[in-house]
Amino acid sequence: MKPDIISASGRQGTLVNIVRGSLVDEEAVIAALKSSDLGSAGLDFYCNEPKINSELWQFENAVPDRHLATDIIETRGPIAQLVVDNLAAFFQGQPVLTPVN
């Protein structure tokens, strides 16, 4: 998300990032919070995961979270099954379903 889009949210706007950290310009969010061009932010993904930019903790109107967007019962079963399926594929000499590049 570009700085102009973040600022367009305005002083009453709230940015909620539950997608990939690379989709939101983290420095632009920090700048918009500092200048009050953005009302608030709820963040669950970061540019340099697992590290969270320490500046984000200084704002009373920002809630940085420790990557819990998938921490619900409905996702834990499928995530666990994906791990099992990846391990099975790996040990059978097949390509894994979700390789890390």
Q: What angle do CA 96, 22, 94 make, to 5 degrees?
A: 5
Per the annotation, the verdict on 49 as an active-site residue is yes
Per the annotation, the verdict on 67 as an active-site residue is yes
Q: Of 11, 26, 60, 67, which is the active-site residue?
A: 67
Q: Of 20, 27, 66, 76, which is the active-site residue?
A: 20
Q: Of 11, 27, 49, 66, which is the active-site residue?
A: 49
42 vs 17: CA distance, rounded Å: 6
Q: How many C-beta atoms surround the C-beta of residue 68 within 10 A?
A: 9
Per the annotation, the verdict on 74 as an active-site residue is no
Sheet holding 10-17, edge to edge: 10-17, 38-43, 62-64
Indicate which residues carry an active-site annotation: 20, 49, 67
